[in-house]
Every structure is written in C-alpha cells, then in structure tokens.
Amino acid sequence: MNGKTEGGGSRGDARRISRRSFIELSGATTLVAAGDLLTRVGRAYPQGTGKTIRMAVVGGGFGAGFWWHEHPNCVVTAVTDLYPQRRRRLRERYGCDAVYDSLEIMVKEAKDVDAVAVFSGAPDHPKHVRMCMERGWHVVSAVPACLTLEEAAMLKELKEKTGLTYMMAESSWYRQEVIFARNFFRQNGFGELFYSEVEYYHDGGDLKKRVADKSSLLYHPDGTRSWRWGFPPMLYPTHSLGFLTGVTGEWVTKVSCLGWRGSSPEMTEHPTRVDNVYNNPFWSQASMMLTDRNHMCRCNVFWRCMAGGERAQWFGDRATLYMPVGGVHGPVQRIRDKASGDWAVPEYWKSDMLPEQMRHASGHGGSAVFISAEFINALLEEREPECDLYDSLAMTVPGIVAHQSSYRDGEQLAVPQFERPKA
C-alpha cells in the first residue's frame, strides 16, 4: 500500500516529564540499552537558511494555541475569524495587525502569505483547505481532515494537482510517550507489534447544564449551535489512530464498530442526539480494526464516560508498552521474566528539531511546539512533513467507515485506501 515495512515505521510535553511508561519485557535485556535512538524526535531545525515563511492563521479558538511566531524563520502576516473577540485574541497572540473578518476576504485580499493554519470548525476543514490551496498556499489543518469519503478523495486530488504541502496537526503524533513508542518500534524493540489499544475519552459532563450554558463548546459566541452539537465520536478518530499510524505507520483496511446510544430517556432523548445535523444517535463508539499488516487494533472514542484523555497500549511478542493512566484503567504493570521495569520518557523538548526559543511547555501533551516546528521546518526544506496528507487520511477515513458500521450493528466494512502516488 504505502511501502512501509515492519520495524521501520513512519517517523512532546516540552517540560521535564516525570511520569513513567510501563514496559513488559520477555528476556529482551539488550533492549534496555536503547542508546541515542530513543532520544530522537525528527529532523534537526535547518539553521542558517535565509528563508522566512509568512503564515496566516484561521480560527481564534484552538488556532491561538500554536507557536508559529516563535520560529525564527516564520512570521504571522494575517489572521482571521468570524467573531470579533476571537480576532482580537489572534491579533494579540501573534502580534499581527492584518486582521480579516473572514477567510473568504483574506483569500481575496491578503498578498503576503505562504502558508495557512486552518483551525476552523471540523466540518469546514475540507472547504477551507481547498480555498487556501487553490489560492496557492500550503496548509496545516486541525483534525479531522474530513468527514466524508468524497471529501477525502477531493483532498487527495487537490494535493496532487497543486503539489502544495499539507499537514494535519494531530497532537497524538507528538505526545511524548508516542515519540518514545515510535523510536522503540523503529529499533524493533516490540518484536512484532501485533495489537494496539488506542483511546480518546472526552466526557460531556453535566448534560443538562452543558446544553443550558450558552458559553459551552456546544455553541458559537453568538449563541448558535456549534459543530460539536451531536458530533459523532468516530468522525473524530485521529487522536486515537495517531497512536497506531504515528507509531508503526500502519493503515487500517477493515473495521467493525458498535455505537452506544444509552438506554435511559435522559440519554436517548437528549437534544444533542435527537436533533443534530449528523443524524447521529451515538454517545460513544468502539471498534475493532485490521491493519495492512494483518495486525489488530481496538479503537475507542467516547463522549459519555467517567474517563478523560488520550492514551494507548502497544502489545508486541517481545515487549509491551503502556501509556500512563488517563482515568479509565487502574495502574498496570505486568512483569514477565527478569528483564522488566519502568522507563522514564526522555526530555524530548531538548530536541534540535525545535529552535531554542520553542523548547518549552505547550498544549496537548507537549505536542503544539513540535507540530509548529515540523510544519515550518518542512517548508524551509521543501519536503513533505510528518503527518502528511496520506497519513492524515489513514487516520481519518477509518473513523468515517467505522461510523457507517455502527448503523449496521458492527458489520465489518472495508476501508478505502488513499494511497501515495507511485514514484
């Protein structure tokens, strides 16, 4: 499919990490001497280049949480949001006076832009990415890349037609434990990594209060419903599948998924479930997936549960790695044989991938500075970034198909493959 081989997969909290990852080893004492490999993150920041990337930012919510302006080879030259308070936030955050009332206006009027960070609402990502790339601008987009198979096909065609750079800002790709797991996989530390459990839990809290509170994420600043109203869990799969594709490079080929509607009237008759633009009745969805290497992956996305956060477990025939507990599992450490123990995650924020001024704490498990740096570094070096369009679709499309499977009582369905062009 994509030319990746076992053991050579695809490719952080920027503060010192004291949490432990748990390893189960089976006589693999030589793996403990990991050496330099486990400390690596990505390509070094290309110092000495005279290039400057002129960046625009769309979306003053999540879009204000990145660090483009701290990269020595980047300047933010345009910002836009539909709402005045969010435009002010972007202006203050990035020190940019070129402020536009909408992306449509920015596309027409802005001239000093090379690349755009698209952090609008999830359903708008494909449309806004298309507007920017047709304007000739490179794009880094919030997750998910798209909500339909037709949009996935459009993005692939658009990328290949324009030749421009696309990156999805998937935080799981650069969570500190994932960088560790990816490096461990590359050194063949797991042996055959045959099974992964990948999870994203984002509980809605008090359901009545959340609907009544016009300041909650269910609403836009003007009081109208936001895209989050009734959004299907499996259409937001990338925080989970980033733990698979971002570690081993595998793509999902088949999926079976079940959805949970709840049984009480409070759940089944909740306004967000009986009246949403997605016709979605599900609060939480769980799926079993088969990869292109005939490996298994259990993928969960829950909007209603007593848990929170993103985490994973990777099971190999030589070693197994557990991420720290996020609220649903008890502390887990299964020890087999004498070669076992806890490993500290390296201080990845010291990586030369990051310019010195970007080596600090950032959001979503330390990932924000790494995402910011990787996109700018890739443009400076005129190369494809990690988490490129094809891997982005590989982390997005299985969720689209999984959601369809939920309506069919878990029927196993094939996942379309949006492959890279052959050289």
pLDDT digits (tens, 9 = 90+) for 30-40: 333 344 666 78
Across 227-244, average pLDDT: 98
User: CA 141 from chain center: how many Å?
Assistant: 10
Kindly tell me the number of DSSP H helices and DSSP E strands found in the chain: 11, 15
pLDDT recorded at residue 325: 63
Most confident of 76-80, 305-309, 348-352: 76-80
Burial class from Cβ neighbours inside 10 Å (0-12, 13-18, 19+) for residue 151 reads buried
pLDDT recorded at residue 335: 35
pLDDT at residue 150 greater than cutoff 80: yes
**Higher pLDDT among residues 137 and 22, named by residue:** 137
Across 211-217, average pLDDT: 92
pLDDT at residue 28 greater than cutoff 50: no
Residue 245 tokens read as 């594709």
Across 351-368, average pLDDT: 90
128: CB partners within 8 A, 6+ apart: 58, 103, 118, 120, 141
Identify the band that residue 360 occupies on the pLDDT scale cut at 50, 70 and 90. Answer: very high
Closest Cα to residue 418, out of 182, 245, 200?
245
pLDDT recorded at residue 343: 66
pLDDT recorded at residue 17: 29
pLDDT at residue 29 greater than cutoff 60: no
pLDDT at residue 110 greater than cutoff 90: yes
Query: H helices of 14-117, where?
Result: 84-94, 103-109
d(CA 263, CA 255): 25
pLDDT at residue 123 greater than cutoff 80: yes
Across 390-401, average pLDDT: 98
pLDDT at residue 359 greater than cutoff 50: yes
The rounded percent of the chain whose pLDDT value lies above 90 is 73
The rounded percent of the chain whose pLDDT value lies above 70 is 86
pLDDT recorded at residue 164: 98
**Higher pLDDT among residues 233 and 204, named by residue:** 233
Amino acid residing at 222: D
> How high does pLDDT run on average in the chain?
87
Which residue spans within 124-260 are E strands per DSSP?
Answer: 138-141, 166-168, 193-202, 252-260
pLDDT at residue 1 greater than cutoff 50: no
pLDDT at residue 13 greater than cutoff 90: no
d(CA 386, CA 238): 14
pLDDT recorded at residue 275: 96
Q: Domains of the chain, with CATH numbers? A: 20-42+172-346+386-414 (3.30.360.10), 53-171 (3.40.50.720)
Residues 27 and 339: beta-carbon distance below 8 Å = yes
- Identify the three-state secondary structure at position 69: helix
Closest Cα to residue 185, out of 8, 36, 395?
8
Q: What value does the CA radius of gyration of the chain take, rounded to a whole number of Å?
A: 21
**Higher pLDDT among residues 329 and 14, named by residue:** 329
Strand-strand pairing, 99-100 and 341-344: unpaired
Q: How many of the other CB atoms lie within 10 Å of CB of 202? A: 18
pLDDT recorded at residue 329: 37
d(CA 39, CA 347): 8
Amino acid residing at 166: Y
CA distances from 105 to 23, 82, 100, 110, 135 (A): 52, 11, 7, 8, 12
CA distances from 164 to 38, 56, 62, 94, 422 (A): 32, 16, 24, 24, 17
pLDDT recorded at residue 37: 61
Residue 3 tokens read as 């030319």
User: CA 285 from chain center: how many Å?
Assistant: 18
Identify the band that residue 363 occupies on the pLDDT scale cut at 50, 70 and 90. Answer: confident
pLDDT at residue 86 greater than cutoff 70: yes
Across 178-205, average pLDDT: 92
